[in-house]
Amino acid sequence: MIERSWEKTYTAAAQSIYAAIQYTDKKEGFSLVDIMGLSSHAFRINIHPGDVSPAGPTMFSPTELLEKGLGLLGFSCEQLHGFQTPAPPEKLEEAVRFAQESIDRGIPVIGWSLFIPEFGIIYGYDDEKQELYCKDPSHDGPLPYSKLNELPLNFVFMLRLRNSFPVDPAQVLNTALGNIIQFAREEAPTLSKEYRHGISGYDAWIQAFQNCSVNPFGNAYNAEVVGDAREFAVQFLKSLPDKYMADSDSKEELIKLSGQAAHYYEKVAGIFREFQNLFPHPHGGEPNDPKQAEEAIRLLELAKQYEVSGIAVLEQIHAKLNRKEIPTT
């Protein structure tokens, strides 16, 4: 595993959740590694079989990408009813007030497409200057109130945290593992018909390479996000025994299984580092070159094999936590 910061991720939704909860009573309770794992972002993959669209990592609704994970961590949330722009002044005023009310309580607001089409946070404002102060993966600085009418995707969306409530770490892990497995098996209730998800995402990715229809930027961006996510998956799985399984009757066996799962995901992460070297973000290399495509398919097939094995181990852990037995693979 390479040396790196575990306080930064390419999954902007998780990064925004982490930034927001630093201003709550749970700031010491959940690291970014915890958030990536428990929200299932560390284990996700969403690939369009036609071209490996760059929209894959953020294609879900904010409810799925933000609110579901925040609920699991013990927060109730409130969404601004998003609206298209340009919009009349009263709609912009409503959005500004929505952000200000949370900032006045000391908690930043999560916003979408503030400077680029990614999640970020709104952490301050100045009524005299008519500015919000925002940070996303591309920029940290002022956003004039009037510029809400000119956001990159012509859409205003915000989410704020309301109340914090206690959660049981063991139950949170159990629910999270269920969500991770369900998503990996493409059995989650909110999946797209156009994209392929989880293990099937690898097949869609391979299909795009076989058809020589890969979007270079989309391919490189997905590789960056998925590879980074798997690095976090390794750290999350290594943390399970001490942080979430201390009181389990099957702790010894769970430690062994967590280590096995971490091993498989470490293999996946390593393969994506190779893949990223072939197709560096943002320019993306030459994914439709036949030789490059052949090597990409080889790497994706290998990553899929290891991820299939990793998910099988997570199913065993989930079963143990629920005191059920499933056949080993």
State both tokens at 84: 């298209």
**What is the average pLDDT across 69-89?**
95
- For residues 83 and 60, what is the distance between their CA atoms, to the nearest angstrom? 17
Q: Is the pLDDT of residue 129 over 90?
A: yes
pLDDT grade for 81, boundaries at 50, 70 and 90: confident
pLDDT grade for 2, boundaries at 50, 70 and 90: low
Task: List every span in the chain annotated with CATH 3.90.70.10.
Answer: 76-164
- For residues 321 and 246, what is the distance between their CA atoms, to the nearest angstrom? 12
Relative to beta strand 75-79, strand 158-164 is antiparallel
pLDDT at 326: 53
Q: What is the pLDDT of residues 231-248, one digit of tens each?
A: 999 999 999 988 877 666
3-state secondary structure of 105: coil
Other CB atoms within a 10 A radius of the CB of residue 127 amount to: 9
Report the predicted TM-score, pTM, of the whole model to 2 decimal places. 0.94
Q: What is the pLDDT of residues 148-198, one digit of tens each?
A: 999 999 999 999 999 999 999 989 999 999 999 999 999 988 888 899 999
Average pLDDT, the chain: 94
pLDDT grade for 325, boundaries at 50, 70 and 90: low
Report the share of the chain in percent with pLDDT over 90. Answer: 87
**What is the average pLDDT across 82-100?**
96
Strand partners for 111: 120, 158
pLDDT at 324: 61
Contact 163, 75 (CB under 8 A): yes
Q: What is the pLDDT of residues 14-40, one digit of tens each?
A: 999 999 999 999 999 999 999 999 999
More confident residue, 252 or 161: 161
What is the distance of C-alpha 312 from the center of its chain?
A: 21
Domain 76-164 grouped into CATH 3.40.50.300? no
The residues, any chain, with a CB within 8 Å of residue 104's CB and separated by 6 or more, are none
Long-range CB pairs of 258-263 (<8 Å, 24+ gap) are 258/317, 260/313, 261/237, 261/310, 261/313, 261/314, 261/317, 262/234, 262/237, 262/238
- φ/ψ (deg, to 5) at 221: -65, -45
